Structure 1
Amino acid sequence: MRPAKLDELIGQEHLTGPNGVIRRAIQMGNIPSMIFWGPPGVGKTTLANIIANEIKKPFYTLSAINAGVKDVREIIDKAKHSTRSILFIDEIHRFNKSQQDALLGAVEKGTITLIGATTENPSFEVNTALLSRCQVYTLRALTEDKLLELVRQALTRDEDLKTRNIEIREHQALLNISGGDGRKLLNLVELITEAVPGDLVVTDELVMELAQKHIAIYDKNGEQHYDIISAFIKSIRGSDPNAALYYLARMVEGGEDVKFIARRLVILASEDVGNANPTALILATNTFQAVNIIGYPEARIILAQCVVYLASSSKSNASYMGIGKALQMVAQTGDLPVPLSIRNAPTKLMKDMDYGKNYQYAHDYENNFINMEFLPDKIKGTKFYEPGNNAREDELRKYLRNLWKDKYRY
C-alpha cells in the first residue's frame, strides 16, 4: 500500500502539492538534507521512499533503534562510489551524539543526502551542528477525510481486497482506535479483512470486537508505543499512582528510552499539576537530569518516585489553559501596540516619544504593587489565568483578588 509516486501520497499537501517545497525540490533535482518531524503514521518513511524513487538515486535506510556508528560508516563508504546517495534514518532522535556526529562530515561534503524522521522535536533531539545542515519539515496529522481516503485506496488497490465486496458502513471505531495513525489504520483494516473472509460489512461493533481480541505486547518501535504513553500520562493526570506505575513498568520492561519517559513527566508536571504544587516541576526536572546520569536499570527507581509524586499531587491545568487563551487572543487580535508607559526607552528619541512615560515602579509602593494598565488598550481587563480549585491556587486567587479588586474578577 506504500505509494511510489508523489501524486499517490495522501496528505501533506503543504509539502507535496503543486507549490510544495518538496515537489519543487524533486522537480529541480536538488534535494537538501532534511528532517521530517511529525506524529506516527503520517507518511515520513513513505515520503523518503518517494523522493528516492522520483530522483532515481541510491537509497539506504537505517533505524536508529538498532543501528550504530559502524552501520552509518559502512553506508557512507558505499555512498562514496555513487552520486549523492540518500540515507534515510528512522527515529533519528534516538541516535546519540557520537552517532549523529558520524553523519556530519558526509552531509557537509555531499557524500550523502540525509533524510531523518522523528516524532520528537528535532530542536531538542538532534545535535545543533547536524540540525543546521538540514531543512526541517513538519508533517501534519492526517484529517478524518484523509484517513478514510487511505482506507478506500487500500480497498481498491490491494490485489486481494479489490476482488471482495467490502462495505465500510461505520468508520468511527476505525478512526478512534487508529488515533490518526495511517499505518495503524491500515494494520487494523488488514486485521479485520483477514478475520472475516468473503463479503464484509465493517461496523463499529465489529471493529471493537476484533480489536479487543488482538492482544499486542508493548513495543517501543511499534504502534502500541503511543497507546501506552497515553495511558501512562492519563493515569498520572487522573491521580492513580497504581495504574501509572503499571504503565511505567510496561515501558521499562519494553526498553523505552529513559529520556522519552522523563521528558513526558516534565511536561505533565507543568501542564497537569502546575501551581497546585510548584515543587512538581522541580522534581520532574531533577528526575530528567538524574536518569540521564544514572541510566537503566537504576533509573526505574527515580522514575517511579517521580511518577508516584506527580500522580499523588494536587492537579491544576490553569497555566496550560491560560496560555491557550492568550495564544487564541493573539491569533484574533494580532500585534496590538504595547502601552507607551511600559515600553522600553533606551534612547533619548524614544523618551521624547513618551516611551516609558508615567511608568510606576511597583516596588516604590505599598505591598510592592501599583494598579496600572499593562495590557494593550484593546484587550484591557481580559483575564487569561483562572486559578484552579486547590489549596495553593486558592491562596493565589485571594492574593490577586485583593490586588486587582473587580478588574479581573478573581
Structure 2
Amino acid sequence: MTNEPLAARMRPENIDEIISQQHLVGPTGIIRRMVDTKRLSSMIFYGPPGIGKTSIAKAIAGSTQYKFRQLNAVSNTKKDMQLIVEEAKMSGQVILLLDEIHRLDKTKQDFLLPHLENGKIVLIGATTSNPYHAINPAIRSRAQIFELYPLTDEDVNLALKRALEDDKRGLKSYNAQVDDDAMEYFSTQSQGDVRSALNALELAVLSSKVDEDVRHITLQDAKDCLQRGAFLSDKDGDMHYDVMSAFQKSIRGSDVNAALHYLARLIEAGDLPTIARRLLVISFEDIGLASPNAGQRTLAAIDAAERLGFPEARIPLSQAVIELCLSPKSNSAISSIDNALSDIRKGNVGQIPDHLKDGHYAGAKELGRAIGYQYPHSHESGFIAQQYLPDKLKNKIYYEPKTTSKSEQQFKSIYENITKAQQQNSK
C-alpha cells in the first residue's frame, strides 16, 4: 500500500469519474465540451479547499492524454517552470496545474505568458481566493475563470462509498464495515470538503482493531478522526465574506433563525471583531432612525461581548441579533447621505450662501447679518425658515423618511413641517 493519502489515490482518472461540478463537467458543461473536442484553453479554478480543483485538472489530463505537471506558485521556482516548457516543446502540449496561482510573482508570470499565448502550456490555476481581486489581470485575461462549489453531503457520501469499494486505489482490501451513523458523520461534518472526509475515513480504517478480519468503524471512531467538521472560515476567502453578507441580509430581512445560524458560524470561526463591526453597521444602516436607540444598545452588547470573550460572548451577541432582527427597519440615514455624496462626486456643489459663511475674517459676520442670517435659538420654536443650501441646490431633497416606526413617523412629521416652511420662505 502506498503512503499517498486516500484522497490523492482516489482522484478521478478521467472526466467521467468526477463527482459534482456538473455545471462544468456535465453533458453540456464547458469543460466537458473542451475535453471532447480536445480544444483546451487555460483556466482558473476557484473555490473552497477540498472540492476538486486538482482532481478536475488531473481528470482533464487523463481524458485528453496530455502530459500533466503540477507546481506551486510559491514553492516552485522559475527553473521548474522552464523544465516544463522544454518538455512542452518536445511533446507538443503540457497541462500545468499551478496551485496558489494568486501568489504568482511577476518574474514567473512574465516567463509563463508567452507560452500561454502560443498554446504550449495549458495553465490550470487553482486558488481559494477570488481571482477577480487576487490574480494579476495579465494572467486573468488569458484564462477562463470557473467557480467550483462545495460538494453536497450526498456527493461526499458517494466518494466515501467508492473508496470503500475500490480494490486498487481504495480501502476494499481492509474489509471495513462502517456504521450508517458514522458514514453520515463523515459526509455531513466535512462541510463539502471531500478530501477531509476521505482522509478521516482512511485514518479510522487504518487505526481500527481487526475483529475476525473485519474493521468495524463506529460513530465514535468517526468523531475521533474528524473531531471537528471542516468548517469553512477562511478569512481571506469568499466563504467568509459570503457568511458576513448572509448574516446582514438575514437581519435586514427580519429572519431571526437565519441570522442566528450565520452568527453561530462566525462564532465558531472565533471572529469576534468581524461580528462586532458588522452588528454596529447593521444597527445604523438597516435599523437606523426606525429605532434610534438600537445603535447604542448594540454597542453595549458588543462592549459586553468583548469584555467577556468567548464562549460567554455569544449571549450578548445573540441578544443584539434578535433585537435587530425584530426591530422596525429604515435605511433612510444611509440613503440620505449617499444621495448627498452622489451630488458632491458629480461636482454638483454650488456656492455657500453668504449669510452662512464663517466669521473668521473681517466683515464676514457683519455681511451675514446684513443679508439676513437669523439665529434659530432666538425664536421660541428654535426654528426659522431661511435658505441653507447653495442656490443651485436650494430645492434639492436628500432625506426621504420612512414610516416603519413611530420614531421615524415623528421625524417625518417634523421634517415635512420644516420643509413646507422652507418652501414658502423661498417663494
Taking structure 2 as the reference length, the TM-score comes to 0.55
Q: Are 2:154 and 2:187, in contact at CA under 8 Å, matched by a contact in 1?
A: no
* Alignment-mate amino acid for residue 200 of structure 2: L
Partner of 2:399: 369
CA change 1:139–1:228 in 2 (3 A) is closer
Partner of 2:295: none
Please tell me whether residue 190 in structure 1 is matched to residue 202 in structure 2: yes
* Alignment-mate amino acid for residue 79 of structure 1: A
The 3-state SS of whatever aligns with 2:90 is: coil
CA change 1:25–1:48 in 2 (3 A) is same
CA change 1:228–1:33 in 2 (3 A) is closer
Q: In the alignment, which of 77, 82, 89 is matched to residue 73 of structure 1?
A: 82
* Alignment-mate amino acid for residue 117 of structure 2: E
Give 1:93 deviation, angstroms: 1.4
Q: In the alignment, which of 274, 278, 293 is matched to residue 281 of structure 2?
A: 274
C-alpha offsets along residues 69-128 of structure 1, whole Å, 9 cap, x if unaligned?
A: 333233223322231211110121122343333321211122211111111110011111
CA change 1:30–1:237 in 2 (3 A) is closer
C-alpha distance in 2 between matches for 1:120 and 1:149: 27
Q: Are 2:164 and 2:171, in contact at CA under 8 Å, matched by a contact in 1?
A: yes
Matches within 5 A, 1:215-294: 238=267, 271-275=278-282
* Alignment-mate amino acid for residue 38 of structure 1: G
Give 1:152 deviation, angstroms: 0.6
* Alignment-mate amino acid for residue 171 of structure 2: L
C-alpha distance in 1 between matches for 2:199 and 2:63: 27
The 3-state SS of whatever aligns with 2:44 is: strand
Q: Are 1:41 and 1:184, in contact at CA under 8 Å, matched by a contact in 2?
A: yes
Please tell me whether residue 207 in structure 1 is matched to residue 237 in structure 2: no
C-alpha offsets along residues 225-247 of structure 1, whole Å, 9 cap, x if unaligned?
A: 9568699x98996599xx769xx
* Alignment-mate amino acid for residue 281 of structure 2: G
CA change 1:371–1:133 in 2 (3 A) is same
The 3-state SS of whatever aligns with 2:57 is: helix
The 3-state SS of whatever aligns with 1:364 is: coil
Higher mean displacement: 155-164 or 110-119: 155-164
C-alpha offsets along residues 171-194 of structure 1, whole Å, 9 cap, x if unaligned?
A: 343134422100000001001101
Please tell me whether residue 46 in structure 1 is matched to residue 61 in structure 2: no
Q: Are 1:84 and 1:111, in contact at CA under 8 Å, matched by a contact in 2?
A: yes
C-alpha distance in 2 between matches for 1:10 and 1:210: 23
CA change 1:156–1:91 in 2 (3 A) is same
Q: In the alignment, which of 136, 143, 163 is matched to residue 152 of structure 2?
A: 143
Partner of 1:358: none
Q: Are 2:208 and 2:216, in contact at CA under 8 Å, matched by a contact in 1?
A: no
The 3-state SS of whatever aligns with 1:81 is: helix
Please tell me whether residue 8 in structure 1 is matched to residue 20 in structure 2: no
Give structure 1 stretches of 5+ with no counterpart: 215-222, 246-264, 279-307, 326-360, 373-380, 384-396, 406-410
Partner of 2:71: 62
Q: Are 1:87 and 1:114, in contact at CA under 8 Å, matched by a contact in 2?
A: yes
Give 1:165 deviation, angstroms: 4.6
The 3-state SS of whatever aligns with 1:86 is: strand
CA change 1:14–1:210 in 2 (3 A) is closer
CA change 1:148–1:69 in 2 (3 A) is same
* Alignment-mate amino acid for residue 201 of structure 2: V
* Alignment-mate amino acid for residue 188 of structure 1: A
CA change 1:228–1:137 in 2 (3 A) is closer
Question: Sequence identity, in percent?
Answer: 31
* Alignment-mate amino acid for residue 205 of structure 1: Q
C-alpha offsets along residues 23-52 of structure 1, whole Å, 9 cap, x if unaligned?
A: 111111100100111211111101111111
RMSD: 4.3
Q: Are 2:171 and 2:202, in contact at CA under 8 Å, matched by a contact in 1?
A: no
Q: Are 1:37 and 1:119, in contact at CA under 8 Å, matched by a contact in 2?
A: yes
The count of residues paired between Structure 1 and Structure 2 equals 282
C-alpha distance in 2 between matches for 1:137 and 1:370: 42
Partner of 1:300: none
CA change 1:113–1:269 in 2 (3 A) is farther
Partner of 1:259: none
Q: In the alignment, which of 148, 151, 162 is matched to residue 172 of structure 2?
A: 162
C-alpha distance in 1 between matches for 2:99 and 2:121: 16
CA change 1:235–1:102 in 2 (3 A) is farther
C-alpha distance in 1 between matches for 2:39 and 2:52: 21
CA change 1:404–1:210 in 2 (3 A) is same
C-alpha distance in 1 between matches for 2:45 and 2:176: 37
Partner of 2:387: none
CA change 1:206–1:24 in 2 (3 A) is same
CA change 1:401–1:317 in 2 (3 A) is farther
